[in-house]
Amino acid sequence: MRRAIRRKSAAQFSRKSPTRLGRFRYGSVVSNLQTTVQWAQKNLSRPGCWAYPDMLEVGCQHGPGGAHDPGLTAAETRSHFGAWAIVSSPLTLSHDVNNETITAAIWPVIANEEAIRVNQAWAGHSGSPFKEGAGRVQLRWRAPLGGRSHDAAAPIEAHALDAPKFQYFYKPLGKAEWAVLLMNHDDAPQDLALTFADVPGLSCTKCALSDVWAYGKSVGTFDTTYTAKAVGAHDAVFLTITPAAAVEAA
């Protein structure tokens, strides 16, 4: 586990210099995300000691490459924040909080109450993968040697992660509700099909879905499966799921 963190608030800010040298790439985000899996599967990520895949990189504009090293796209920003939310990571922001333009651009993501609700929920499991694609993709990025992101003299080294083309995460929220994050790790859009029976603990075959990114707006009621069409490269679909019967009875 990277470190033990006591989660006290929904989001925390860490003031960082705008000259930070780390190169923020989707591959490094996904690589960090995988470090939480073993602790979640052993139920060691829990209240009082959360698996922490490092600070959030949403809104961090660039590394030493300047305009040619732009950081995360809007889609990658959503995926990054959603992934940290569904694995119950502390949400430690690291962008330049003095830059109002950046803050305004990422505000719909970092202030999304549904995403934060998923992050803060505890129903016995902190969130982990449950399905991935058979196809593989190489996610590449470059970073200062040895993680020396503030050392201007540090040599730059190349990294690559052999990742599935898609990866699905789940988290029980309690009261017959689950969250799922369907991540497209591929470099091209693809349809992402969810079979409800694949979600651990989910017993409904007719399920009501809500869109976390749309602040809980209903997606509809579906039997057995749901398919998100043409999900963009490095983007993610973030849903909550409840039995349709419970919604209809409410």
Q: Cα 106 from chain centroid?
A: 14
Which one-letter amino acid corresponds to residue 2? Answer: R
Report all structural domains of the chain as residue ranges with CATH numbers, in order of start: 12-128+136-163 (no CATH), 165-249 (2.60.40.1180)
Contact 178, 171 (CB under 8 A): yes
| Separation of alpha carbons 191 and 210, rounded Å | 18
**pLDDT tens, position by position, for the chain (250 residues)?**
333 333 433 444 333 333 344 456 899 899 999 999 999 999 999 999 999 998 888 877 655 555 555 678 889 999 999 999 999 999 988 877 788 888 888 899 999 999 999 999 999 999 999 999 999 999 986 666 655 555 555 666 777 789 999 999 999 999 999 999 999 999 999 999 999 999 999 999 999 999 999 999 999 999 999 999 999 999 999 999 999 987 766 6
Structure-derived torsion over alpha carbons of residues 23, 29, 30, 35, reported in degrees to the nearest 10? 110
Which one-letter amino acid corresponds to residue 41? Answer: Q
pTM of the model: 0.85
Beta bridge partners of 164: 136
